[in-house]
Amino acid sequence: MGSDDAPIAEVEGSLLAAEEFGAKILLVGREEILRRELSRHFPATGQIEIVHAEDVVTMHDNTSAAIRTKKDTSIRVAAEQVLSGRAAGMVSAGNTGAVMATAVKVMGRIPGAKRPAVAQIFPTDRGGRTLLLDVGANVDCTPTMLVQFAAMGEVYTRVLFGCERPRIGLLSIGEEDHKGNDLTSKASNLFKQKPFNFVGNVEGRDLFTGNVDVIVCDGFVGNVALKVSEGLVSTIKTMLIQSLEATVMRQIGYGLAKGAFDEFKKRVDYEEYGGAPLLGVKGGVIICHGRSTRQAIKNAVRVAIDFETGGITRKIQENLVDGLENIGGKSSTAVSSRSTTSATKR
Amino acid sequence: MGSDDAPIAEVEGSLLAAEEFGAKILLVGREEILRRELSRHFPATGQIEIVHAEDVVTMHDNTSAAIRTKKDTSIRVAAEQVLSGRAAGMVSAGNTGAVMATAVKVMGRIPGAKRPAVAQIFPTDRGGRTLLLDVGANVDCTPTMLVQFAAMGEVYTRVLFGCERPRIGLLSIGEEDHKGNDLTSKASNLFKQKPFNFVGNVEGRDLFTGNVDVIVCDGFVGNVALKVSEGLVSTIKTMLIQSLEATVMRQIGYGLAKGAFDEFKKRVDYEEYGGAPLLGVKGGVIICHGRSTRQAIKNAVRVAIDFETGGITRKIQENLVDGLENIGGKSSTAVSSRSTTSATKR
């Protein structure tokens, strides 16, 4: 029920995912609305099932108030499907804060994870990908939280992108250690004590250079970075079209080179990346943009499937509790021997 | 002496500015190096004069240590030319932190300005411009500092862009008041008590939408936003060229539409905007990118000229001390009557 276009994008995206990946989809929300939208599509498929939820959290709701007062929201019911094991993961294009808070409340945090984080994939100009986290879940972070984000992002890139030993960078305003704020300076010291492949401070431009695989920052900075990127991609496309349509000669050139623009659009469009995973809760939660298209929803379902198939939740737990000498803060007798093994593997 | 290409970009940019704007330029730095570079150009012009400075602050210097130990730096000597009135303003592509600290030390802050800020101009897709500040000078800001940044940015856009009543936005992670961090929440309350045309929270994408004229944020967030934009523009250009050169048909199309790409490049390239003004010190200081070309240096000289001609320093002082009911914190008997006038004018 969450996207700007709900439930059209969700229903059509689910139908595409069912067809393309053979996925079985539970559509969670107001039954009559979902049934009406589904009935517009032919042929009906047995792979889509509706699970009724009475309430909806809107983008304008105060998140904590909505979670307190609305008991039967589609986000909550979806999270309960994951908790009970009926669903392998959930996808939502709704209110990010509500998805995150509800997922934590219903599914619970992974042992050792202080705070879940939303991770966003950025395309690099060498054809690779860089993962940035957190992009919006936690506005005021501690150094330990940033280290945990790295531990979670490391697992994600290792499993889903096949990076053997992901390079971890700390988003700051200069590569030198002394450039940054209080948080980055303390986090930098902490990173050096952990068995990461830590490359030090990186800058905003490194989201696209491919010099690093995982970049960590607090959720305020990450969200600004994400929205600056989205805004700029959209602006650049507008500007380019304006210039290309200005003369007949250019229009002809544009026509001949159209394949290049389609390819380019595909490379920079966020919908191709299929939503941002919420890392740190017990179960796959994929958060999509409010302006998601059916294509974006379909790709988010693919990410949810890969998340479950790759055993991301279990591997994050291992990395947080054992792999990083227990950076979550809990004691464990198995720490030292296992952390050695894990560090060697990375 | 500051750019990656120093002193080539500086010398060639100065020659261009002397020719195009009739500006007289004092080139500050090691005399033998500057003289050698100047001698490579013909015809020599009487509009360029060399002012010797023995030391250079590099990008890798620890800023505060360099300022303490290096006494005769080109940045310092340049600032002294402005202080003494020999120069109307200064342009540097050197270490931003050193330029800022030295300018404050030598020229002094404008009365009422707690901290100077670096302002960056972004192109919007409607052909307009948005000013973002601070983009790197102050990593940990108070709400009052953000309000002062707005007061300074307002003057700049009014005088240089001809905005009559600039719309001021606060960079956050959602348009609703409750979305943001501790700093934005306190700053938002403070803004509402001041006579600004305050539009509330804006998001990263609003740098390019033209919905707002001035956006304020702390220098850490602003610097990340700036570098994400620079990185993305460069990546997008690379990706587009890769796609356009992939087939012969596309190459022909590219050839026909080449004017569109040149125009597009001009619209998104930062060098066209001629550097970022440092607002809040007593004199014009224009900070350029380390990777500045001669074109960027030339345009920065133009901005320095406009800065002086427009009386920006004096107008910022009026806006800080009188116009905003003395937000600088000092008391003044003239506050209430003049603030009414000033608010009416805006």
Give B138's Cβ-side CA count (13 Å radius): 24
List the single best residue of A217, A227, A238 to mutate versus B (max B Cβ within 10 A): A227
DSSP-derived letter for residue B131 is E
Question: Strand pairing partners for B277?
Answer: B286
Using the predicted structure, report yes or no on whether residue B45 has a pLDDT greater than 80. Answer: no
More confident residue, B292 or A44: B292
Residue A240's contacts (CB-CB under 8 Å, 6 or more residues apart) are A261, B260, B264
- For residue B342, the model assigns a pLDDT of 33
The answer to whether B321 and B106 are in contact (CB under 8 A) is: no
Q: ipTM value of the model?
A: 0.84
Please check whether residue A65 touches B, CB under 8 A.
Answer: no
Whole-number Å distance between alpha carbons of A223 and A275: 14
Report the chain B residue with the minimal C-alpha distance to residue A139: B181
Task: Kindly determine whether residue A227 and residue B209, on different chains, have CB atoms separated by under 8 Å.
Answer: no
List the single best residue of A60, A124, A228 to mutate versus B (max B Cβ within 10 A): A228
State the CB neighbour count (10 A cutoff) for residue A288: 29
Query: Could you report the per-residue pLDDT of B216-254, keeping only the tens digit for each?
Result: 999 999 999 999 998 888 888 888 888 888 888 888 888
Query: Could you report the per-residue pLDDT of A232-282, keeping only the tens digit for each?
Result: 888 888 888 888 888 888 888 888 888 877 777 777 676 677 789 999 999
Query: Could you report the per-residue pLDDT of A306-320, keeping only the tens digit for each?
Result: 999 999 999 999 988
Task: Kindly determine whether residue B243 and residue A261, on different chains, have CB atoms separated by under 8 Å.
Answer: yes
Which SS3 state, helix, strand or coil, does residue B261 take? helix
Residue A20's contacts (CB-CB under 8 Å, 6 or more residues apart) are A298
State the nearest Cα–Cα gap between B142 and chain A, in angstroms.
14
Structure tokens at A338: 């296992």
Length of chain B: 346
- For residue A245, the model assigns a pLDDT of 83
How sure is the predictor about A5, in pLDDT bands with cuts at 50, 70 and 90?
confident
Mean pLDDT over the full length of chain B: 86
- For residue A327, the model assigns a pLDDT of 52
List the single best residue of A239, A265, A289 to mutate versus B (max B Cβ within 10 A): A239
Q: Residue A34: name the closest of A46, A23, A48, A24 by CA.
A: A48
Which SS3 state, helix, strand or coil, does residue A76 take? helix
Q: Residue B123: name the closest of A265, A240, A269 by CA.
A: A240
Please check whether residue B58 touches A, CB under 8 A.
Answer: no
Whole-number Å distance between alpha carbons of A46 and A38: 12
How sure is the predictor about A12, in pLDDT bands with cuts at 50, 70 and 90?
very high
Please check whether residue B219 touches A, CB under 8 A.
Answer: yes
- For residue B344, the model assigns a pLDDT of 31
Selected residues 115-174 of chain B with any CB under 8 Å from a CB in chain A: 123-125, 136, 139-140, 171-173
Using the predicted structure, report yes or no on whether residue A340 has a pLDDT greater than 60. Answer: no
How sure is the predictor about A334, in pLDDT bands with cuts at 50, 70 and 90?
very low
Length of chain A: 346
Report the chain A residue with the minimal C-alpha distance to residue B268: A236
Whole-number Å distance between alpha carbons of A250 and B263: 12
The separation between CA B74 and the C-alpha centre of its own chain, rounded to angstroms, equals: 20
The answer to whether A218 and A138 are in contact (CB under 8 A) is: yes
Residue B256's contacts (CB-CB under 8 Å, 6 or more residues apart) are A249, A250, A252, A253, A256
Residue A103's contacts (CB-CB under 8 Å, 6 or more residues apart) are A79, A90, A116, A278, A281, A283, A285
Whole-number Å distance between alpha carbons of B215 and B169: 5
Q: Residue A212: name the closest of A264, A273, A165 by CA.
A: A165
Whole-number Å distance between alpha carbons of A323 and A282: 18
Quick check: pTM over 0.95? no
Q: Residue B258: name the closest of A244, A3, A222 by CA.
A: A244
Whole-number Å distance between alpha carbons of A174 and B246: 35
Amino acid at B234: S
Which SS3 state, helix, strand or coil, does residue A270 take? helix
Task: Kindly determine whether residue B249 and residue A240, on different chains, have CB atoms separated by under 8 Å.
Answer: no
Give B228's Cβ-side CA count (13 Å radius): 30
Whole-number Å distance between alpha carbons of B303 and B319: 21
Query: Could you report the per-residue pLDDT of B184-204, keeping only the tens digit for each?
Result: 999 999 999 999 999 999 999
Whole-number Å distance between alpha carbons of A165 and A151: 12
Task: Kindly determine whether residue A208 and residue B220, on different chains, have CB atoms separated by under 8 Å.
Answer: no
Please check whether residue A252 touches B, CB under 8 A.
Answer: yes
Task: Kindly determine whether residue A268 and residue B236, on different chains, have CB atoms separated by under 8 Å.
Answer: yes
Q: Residue B101: name the closest of B164, B153, B57, B144 by CA.
A: B57
Question: Any idea which of A99-113, A144-158, B168-182, B314-328 has the lowest mean pLDDT?
Answer: B314-328
